[in-house]
Structure 1
């Protein structure tokens, strides 16, 4: 299996959110993910992209296909240039919301992925890097 080149997708409109879901689903299929893992990764991507769109004023989602010890993976990098997350730990807590949502987005996305990192600073935007490995 040859790793696919990274692809970058704009997250600027509602239509982009749908396009991101389709692109991530295709990447999980190409990587040989089970239907359960496909759903996990697509759900996480949807939550992260929506956060970027709503709270960060839009940004990009990059899809990469790393391998580790022969295992296929999907790495999502979501970047925006919004206001940043003032309190990351609070934002990861279930029930925390700055809008009308249920407050499961960021923490839920973290639980769906195997690796999860947030880099953010006030006024400098947010970058989330999340990776899921097939068969975990």
Structure 2
């Protein structure tokens, strides 16, 4: 397994590619089937956000090791318009695309660690980590 890989998100089909890479890396890192699905779902949501709101970006995957645990760090990076109000997009049910609004709050729930950095006119970076149980 490559310690880091990434998928560029430009078209809708790239969302599927990012999801497949996420699931494969999670399997190689010995995540259980349920956590593999959680990771793939979170990555799908992050990639979809890039596609819908930023037009282009990438999802980076990095296998990480702590003292006594292994994990997968997923970073969604874009050069889109940025997020005006982080607290608003982190509310359950919030959606600007007419979707279910599970979005970023859903990603935060599915993963163990979640961080968002955004700058208007510069872009957004979301980092989410899941640890093998």
TM-score tier by shorter-chain length is over 0.9
User: Which residue number in structure 1 is paired with residue 61 of structure 2?
Assistant: 63
Q: Which runs of 5 or more structure 2 residues have no equivalent in the other structure?
A: none
Task: Work out whether 1:48 is the aligned partner of 2:46.
Answer: yes
Aligned pairs for 1:63-82 (under 5 A) are 63-82=61-80
Cα distance in 2 for residues equivalent to 1:87 and 1:14: 25
Cα distance in 2 for residues equivalent to 1:13 and 1:70: 38
RMSD: 1.0
Aligned pairs for 1:1-136 (under 5 A) are 4-135=2-133
- 1:37-90 residue CA offsets vs partner (Å, 9 max, x unmatched): 101111100001100110111200000000112311010000111110100011
Cα distance in 1 for residues equivalent to 2:58 and 2:15: 10
Cα distance in 1 for residues equivalent to 2:15 and 2:95: 20
TM-score (norm 2): 0.96
Q: Which runs of 5 or more structure 1 residues have no equivalent in the other structure?
A: none
Cα distance in 2 for residues equivalent to 1:70 and 1:79: 28
